[in-house]
Structure 1
Amino acid sequence: MARLGGVWGGLIGIVASAAFLLAPAMAAPRGAPDSFADLAERLTPAVVNISTAQRSRSGRASGELAPLQRKFDQPAVSLGSGFIIDASGIVVTNNHVIDNAENITVTLHDGREFTAVLKGRDRETDLAVLQLEGGGKFPFVEFGDSDSARVGDWVIAIGNPFGLGGTVTVGIVSARNRDINSGQYDDFIQTDAAINRGNSGGPLFDMNGQVVGVNTAIYSQTGGSVGVGFAVPADLADSVVTQLLSFGETRRGWLGVSIDDLTPELASSMNLRAPKGAIVTVVRPNSPAADAGLEPNDVILQFNRRQIESVRDLTRAVADTPIGTTVPMEVLRDGRRLTVQVRVDRRETRMLASNSSSILPANAARGSGLTLQEATDDVRQTFGLPATVQGVVVTAVDPESAAAIVLQPGDVILEIGWERVTRPSAAVDKLGKLRNLNSGPVQIYVQRGDLLFYESLRP
């Protein structure tokens, strides 16, 4: 919004002040700090610049035109940010910063450079963990409690925009729990602190100097900051980083259901005061949900004693549950509340499914991280699909692929790039051709239970 100046700006300020004085029992706002210098000086040494090299078909380095003499296989350099969370040199950044990297170089604020090795990464939350080589005791920062961050709180972003080196910007928490349709674990903190290209993977600090978010994405029509940035909340990032450090991979819980948010109309018909909860649309055969006796049209109200108000709440609660544990789940069925016990399975194992086998079933094809099969009687029975289903059935998803962000076993792909698909081999061929053309994400039409939706898939 353009700033109002002159007389009108002054009048608006006077009116606003008068309204504030007249408002009873209104909490006094905290003013801006006199300076952020002490905080920035303390935190900046733990924020790093990350450059990666990978083979570039175009012969271009990121962000520059290729001179004629540049070789075909010249390494391309991409720049991003990260931050050290342990004195031993553990670095957190975004996965997209280091994706496909052959070499990773981390530059500290004091100019020292270190080679880094990848400890683990998670495409679904776009996080990666690196280890600096060469030893030494490094400056570090700690994760804070992002759940306590409030809209309006001051935050500081430190990173490497446009490869310029350590840059500090300041803003507030603009919103919480943002869903930007980047994956099923969307739960972003929105901020108006300036975040630009190269800030990816950098920390978002609170006024205590703790990391409350990992800067990951911006909304922009120009490619530059327009004051709408998004950060993975620290509570989620801390959990993922802990798993990556412990196992080199994520180990998320899996329930085996397709779910949808309650509409106000449906909530009213069920005599619910508000449309809160997740309604079950499909129960996968041989899944934890099936073993627990869950049924379609059940509304999940609590999972492991956590209140469920939306699909995202349930997805997060299940993912956070340790594998193999049995937890209570409160559901609403035919107007009655009941509690069932469910033993949580591991999502990555179920997603991988037959991808681990080198032998493909008849009428199946594999590509782009997907195993696709025709909708035979056996496949329909395995995934609880109706007899009338058409298209190709996703029977396995490589959890390390981009496809794992948008697809899951049991989904039916009806269209790829606005064209109907009925044969697995044709679908894999089309995705392969689009990938070779570097055409970017393709629109796919998917059936999941009773839901039909479009999604963008990077082949």
Structure 2
Amino acid sequence: MAQKPSTPLRRRLLAAAGAVAILGGGAAGISTYQSMPAFADQVTVPTTERSTAFDGFADVVERVSPAVVSVRVKSNRQLTSNNQNGFSFEFRGMPGLEQLPEDHPFRRFFREFGGQDDDARPNRERDRAERDRPRRERPSGQGSGFFISEDGYVVTNNHVVENGSSYTVVLDDGTELDGKLVGTDPRTDLAVLKVDTEGRDIQFVKFADDSKVRVGDWVLAIGNPFGLGGSVTAGIVSARGRDIGAGPYDDFIQIDAPVNRGNSGGPAFNTAGEVIGINTAIFSPSGGNVGIAFAIPATAASRIVDDLIDDGSIERGWLGVQIAPVSDDIAEAVGLDMAEGALVQQPTEKSPGAQAGIEAGDIIVAVNGEKIDDPRSLSRKIAGFEPDTEITVSVFRDGDTKDIDVQLGLMPKPDEMAMSSGPAQEDSQAPEQASSSLDDLGLTVTPAEDGEGLVITEVEADSDAEDKGLSAGDIILKVNGQAVNSAEDVTDATDKALEGGRRAVLMQVKTNDAQRFVALPVSRG
């Protein structure tokens, strides 16, 4: 018979068991785990046609687990100078050694332990030494993935394989295979690897039609959290269409199945064993799971994965306009019935949108007759078209809706997206010009030196203008679509808005080289 643990050890084990049983706590108290039968005794759920007996997830897990893999990534890291043993010193924010006295202790320290004063060497010599330093391939990350075909294509996240130089795909049975990077799409955080499957029977899974996924549906997450490959967690779909600020195409499925570091790139399954999404992010103040995880929807992912397999890259349609949400104030200022669509802040120079006639201040309300709800809706819609596709963009301008035909271009690479702009104005104010007060708007303005717009010289404290982020130095270019070069121009535009029954005016404002729109409420007197 096994001996009982000693009393102190036994107390620690019991305490640990108690801690595991506690799910959460806070100001509202502590919630403890209850078994499924006890819960069923207390709550009666009405039977529907969709209801089935709950037999657990073992069957589906057994079927799909062999298709889920772990992904290990190595990258070439350059060794620091005079540091072949991997031990390095780094003093961030310190002045260069050449600025220190010759007898300074740090100079002596680096002469004795670093070989020489690296920062004191000529730049050419230092650059040459940097290039010649040996590189060593070292582990740089790990994540999850899954097979989508019997010929060895593996889907994972871009951030899992980013900056990698070699990749190892670890199968469910522990077999390690070399992976080759097929292609990546940083904008949606997707990547595809390929392994040689000759002589192997590879099990794979299929993408589901995520449009049928409902909030409350069961979901299973299988992956490699913290390097613990083959881990299975379960939960439900918590929400659809989440925007977490990861990029212009955010449309995540939110799930509460526990997902942690290392689960990235792994699949989220429905109870039929189909992939409804790719786990890619978590919300966590601590870095661990708190019940909020986000998955890339399967429908969007499958199209991108197919393109990556075809040619290793993604080609998206490009309209070329900077857009912003339409707030209630902006809708009121322009006479739009509802706060919907995407406000064009500025067309990119020589872009398809600019060449077709889309202007700053236009509100894009539809594409090919399909309603645009917000900027995300427009971004996803345009990205779904191939370059050179001809589309019809409906814009709300000057109180009317206008259709504009546009031939889309090719989406530039991220490093090519910077908008070309002219040199910044050194001083937009004209000191010799008298300032004018716009009391109803809480602004003081003066004409710009180049005669285009009004420079804000003062913003009234606690005014709507201050709340909207206007500040001295901003330039007002237009008010309700009309160019303004004097305070009288602003007053005329405001009076017209009031006569038209509007309670706000829309200002096109330039800050440095960027433009935006600000709606300010107005009233008589």
Task: Confirm or deny that 1:47 pairs with 2:111.
Answer: no
Equivalent position to 1:117, from 180, 183, 194: 180
Give % identity: 40
Residues 415-457 of structure 1: per-residue CA shift (max 9 Å, x gap): xxxxxxxxxxxxxxxxxxxxxxxxxxxxxx99642179xxxxx
The corresponding residue for 2:363 is 299
User: Are residues 1:332 and 2:411 paired?
Assistant: no
Q: Deviations over 1:179-231 (max 9, x none)?
A: 11122121111110010111010011112221111111111122111111111
For 1:37, the aligned partner's letter is A
Deviation at 1:28, TM superposition (A): 8.1
**Offset of residue 133 of structure 1:** 2.4
Aligned AA for 1:191? I
Amino acid at match of 1:34: D
Pairing partner for 1:102 from 165, 189, 193: 165
Q: Does the CA contact (< 8 Å) of 1:120 and 1:128 recur in 2?
A: yes
Does 2:108 match 1:87? no
Give the CA deviation at 1:177.
1.2
Partner residue, 1:432: none
Quick check: 1:78 aligned with 2:141? yes
Q: Distance in 1 between matches of 2:419 and 2:412?
A: 15
- Once the two structures are TM-superposed, the CA of residue 266 in structure 1 deviates from its matched residue by 2.1
Q: Report the Cα distance in structure 1 between the residues aligned to 2:293 and 2:303, rounded to whole angstroms.
A: 22
Q: 1:156 to 1:446 in 2, by over 3 A?
A: farther
Partner amino acid, structure 2, of 1:45? P
Amino acid at match of 1:107: V
Q: Of 172, 177, 197, which residue of structure 1 is paired with 2:241? A: 177
1:224 aligned to 2:288? yes
SS of the residue 1:282 aligns to: strand
SS of corresponding position for 1:128 = strand
Superposed counterparts of 1:118-133, under 5 Å? 118-133=181-196
Q: Which runs of 5+ in 1 are unaligned?
A: 7-11, 60-65, 356-369, 378-385, 389-413, 415-444, 453-459
SS for the counterpart of 2:207 is coil
User: How far did residue 111 of structure 1 move?
Assistant: 2.1
Query: Which residue is 2:477 aligned to?
Result: none
Letter in 1 for 2:230: G
8 Å Cα contact 2:388-2:407 kept in structure 1: yes
CA separation of 1:255/1:35 partners in 2, compared to 1, >3 Å: closer, same or farther?
same
Whole-angstrom CA distance in 2 between matches of 1:306 and 1:239? 21
From 144, 169, 187, the equivalent of 2:208 is: 144
C-alpha RMSD of the superposition: 3.7
Counterpart-to-counterpart distance in 2, 1:251 and 1:43: 32
Report the 3-state secondary structure (helix = DSSP H, G, I; strand = E; otherwise coil) of the residue aligned with 1:235.
Answer: helix
Task: Kindly provide the amino acid, as one letter, of the partner of residue 260 in structure 1.
Answer: A
Which deviations, in whole Å up to 9, do the C-alpha atoms of 1:65-124 show, x marking residues without a partner? Answer: x9979x984612522100111111001101111111121010111222211111100111
Q: Aligned equivalents of 1:68 and 1:270: distance in 2? A: 63
Q: Secondary structure at the match of 1:194?
A: coil
Identify the residue that residue 282 of structure 1 maps to in structure 2: 346
Counterpart CA distance in 1 for 2:72 and 2:271 is 29
Q: d(CA) in 1 for partners of 2:162 and 2:283?
A: 21
Change (3 A) 1:347 1:77: closer
User: Is the alpha carbon distance of 1:278 and 1:137 closer, same or farther for their aligned partners in structure 2, counting shifts above 3 Å?
Assistant: same
Task: Name the TM-score, length of structure 1 as normaliser.
Answer: 0.69
Equivalent in 213, 223, 229 of residue 277 of structure 2: 213
* Rg larger in structure: 2
In structure 2, the CA distance between the partners of 1:373 and 1:215, relative to structure 1 (3 Å rule), is same
Distance 1:4 1:13, change over 3 A: farther
Write the distance in 1 (CA, Å) between the matches of 2:294 and 2:348. 34
Per the alignment, in what secondary structure is the counterpart of residue 146 of structure 2? strand
Matched to 1:207, the amino acid is T
Task: Please tell me whether the aligned partners of residues 214 and 234 of structure 1 are also in contact (alpha carbons under 8 angstroms).
Answer: yes
Partner residue in 2 for 1:382:
none
The answer to whether the 8 Å contact 2:65/2:230 transfers is: yes
Determine the structure 2 residue equivalent to 1:422: none
- Distance of 2:421 and 2:398 partners within structure 1: 36
Describe the superposition over 1:359-404 as per-residue Cα deviations: whole angstroms up to 9, x where unpaired. xxxxxxxxxxx79887279xxxxxxxx989xxxxxxxxxxxxxxxx
SS of residue in 2 equivalent to 1:449: strand
CA contact (8 A) 2:349 2:419 kept: no
Paired AA for residue 244 in structure 1: L
- Out of 155, 160, 171, which is 2:219 matched to? 155
Unmatched tracts of structure 2, length 5 or more: 1-23, 34-38, 89-133, 426-450, 454-473, 475-510, 519-525
Q: What is the SS of the residue equivalent to 2:402?
A: strand
Cα deviations by residue, 1:21-64 (Å, 9 ceiling, x for unpaired): 8xxxx9788467321011111111111111111234689xxxxx
Count of matched residue positions in the alignment of Structure 1 and Structure 2: 360
| Structure 1 residues 338 and 181, CA gap change in structure 2 (3 angstroms) | same
8 Å contact 1:217–1:231 — kept in the other structure?
A: yes
CA 1:244–1:336: 2 relative to 1, 3 Å: same
C-alpha contact (below 8 Å) 1:204/1:231 kept by paired residues: yes
More displaced 10-residue stretch of structure 1: 131-140 or 197-206:
131-140
User: Structure 2 counterpart of 1:122, which letter?
Assistant: D
Q: Post-superposition shift, 1:140?
A: 0.8
Contact preservation (8 Å) 1:195, 1:225:
yes
Matched, 1:191 2:255: yes
Instruction: Give 2:309's aligned residue.
Output: 245
Q: Is the 8 A contact 1:53 1:75 kept in 2?
A: yes
Deviates more, 1:319-328 or 1:145-154: 145-154
CA contact (8 A) 2:349 2:420 kept: no
1:375 aligns with 2:402: no
SS at match of 2:412: helix
SS of the residue aligned with 1:42?
helix
